[in-house]
Amino acid sequence: MSEIQKNPENKTVDTRPLCLSGKGVTKVFGFGETRTVAVDHVDFAFHEGEIISIVGESGSGKTTISKMLLGLISVTEGEIQFQGKPRDISSHKKKKEYWKGIQAIFQDPFSSFNMFNKIDAVLLDCINMRGGKNLPKEEKVRLMTEACSFVNLKFAELTNKYPFELSGGQMQRLMIARIFLLKPKILLADEPTSMIDACSRATILDMLLKLRDEINMTIIFITHDIGLAYYVSDSVYIMEHGKFVESGGADEVILTPKAEYTKRLISDVPKIYEEWDLSTV
């Protein structure tokens, strides 16, 4: 990335404009004895056109933080800034506006679609959301065809079909086609490849990278697989018990980990080029 420069203290500084950032973001569930702090005063700064991975094991709070970023649940404490301004999602109208700027792909493609809606309806809804409600029919079809070809699907074969007639990989690609139509500033991908086969995984990752390259989309990639995070992302945030224990550029975090937790995570993943040390458990 040409825009990344090294500053005198030998730390990387990103000069691209901030897209989404947070200070002291906290989420507490319940109260009294059942009080749980799911996300505990985390700070982050995501830049435009960057791919950021949030890596954590189950129960680390990564799903909670993704829902807060999406504005699906409220933030208990702290502030999230969207494009340099404090995020305002106090009413349904403002939320609608915010969701034009941030969209998501979820883990399980089989539960991501309403199985009673046809594929056309899913895509048409995206066009309507972008204010294309009054476009002529041919234009709508053109847009949908374009979106489908972006993800190597043929729109003509999909019309009048239901999402559950597709394979998991195809569904996830359709999900990306939806994002392509919506063209949000930020895409939050919550374990988009964990339910699909390794062979289709490469396709999905390629398409995410293409989204970034063609539309300059910021992609927040949430995963438990540290190898995957290393492969796709520019910067990595490692999350343990609701806190970011380490963050920085992907090479920096994965190849020279400083936090104990990061070291352990990396050492617990099977390797193929180096010896996998089994004695450390």
Partner 1 sequence: MGKIMLEVNDLKTKYVTRFHEDVYAVDGVSLKIEEGKSLGIAGESGCGKSTLALSLMGYYFAPLHYMSGDIIVDGKNISGMKPDDVRRTILGNEIAYIPQAAMNALNPTQKIIRFVEDVIHAHDPKASKKDIYDLAKQRFEVLGLPPEVLQKHAVELSGGMKQRTVIAISTILSPKVLIADEPSSALDVTSQKMVIKMMRELMEKGFIRSMIFITHELPLLYNVTDDIMVMYAGQIVERGTAKEMVFDPIHPYSKGLMGAIIVPEAGTRDQKLTAIPGTPPNLKRPPAACRFADRCKYATAECKGMAPTMKEFGEGRSYRCHYSVEHLREVYADE
Partner 2 sequence: MLNTIKQVFHSPKFVTGFVIFMVMLLTIIIYPIIVTADPLEMIGNGNFFKPGTYVNTSETISAKQYTFNVDVSQASKLDRQLDDTQRTKMADWLVRFGGVDESEIDTSDSVALVELWKNNYSKDVDQTGLIAADKKYFVRLDTKIDAMLASSGIIIAQKDEEGTLSEQSTVEDNSYVNINDLQTSRTLILGTDNFGRDTLTELVSAAKNSLKIGLIAGSIATVIGLVLGLLSGYLGGIIDNIITFVTNLFTVIPSFVLLVLISYSVGQGSRGIYLVAIIIGCTSWTWTTRSVRSQVISLRNRDHVNLSKLSGHSLFRIIMTDILPYIASYVVMALILQISSGILSEAQLSMLGLGPATTESATLGLMMNWATLYSAHLNGSWWAYFPVIFTVALIAFSLNLMNTGLDQVFNPQLRD
Which one of partner 2, partner 1, none is in contact with 152 (Cβ closer than 5 to 8 A by kind)?
partner 1
Beta bridge partners of 240: 243
194 makes contact with partner 2 (CB under 8 A): no
Q: Is 44 helix (H, G, I), strand (E, B) or coil?
A: strand
The Cα-based distances of 125 to 147, 178, 225 in angstroms read 13, 9, 33
251 makes contact with partner 1 (CB under 8 A): yes
Which one of partner 1, partner 2, none is in contact with 95 (Cβ closer than 5 to 8 A by kind)?
partner 2
Residue 175 near residue 120 (C-beta atoms within 8 A): no
**Nearer Cβ to partner 2 (40/108):** 108
Which one of partner 2, partner 1, none is in contact with 36 (Cβ closer than 5 to 8 A by kind)?
none
62 makes contact with partner 1 (CB under 8 A): no
In the list 205, 210, 215, 252, the residue contacting partner 1 (rule: CB under 8 A) is 205
Beta bridge partners of 99: none
Nearest Cα residue to 120 out of 155, 150, 146, 149: 155
Burial class (CB in 10 A: 0-12, 13-18, 19+), 252: middle
In the list 48, 57, 108, 252, the residue contacting partner 1 (rule: CB under 8 A) is 57
In the list 16, 95, 118, 224, the residue contacting partner 2 (rule: CB under 8 A) is 95
125 makes contact with partner 2 (CB under 8 A): yes
User: Distance between CA 249 and CA 258 in Å, rounded?
Assistant: 13
**Nearer Cβ to partner 2 (46/261):** 46
Burial class (CB in 10 A: 0-12, 13-18, 19+), 233: buried
- Least Å distance between CB 39 and partner 1? 19
Q: Is 62 helix (H, G, I), strand (E, B) or coil?
A: helix
179 makes contact with partner 2 (CB under 8 A): no
Contact residues: partner 2, CB under 8 A: 70, 72, 92, 95-96, 99-100, 102-104, 106-108, 111-117, 125-126, 129
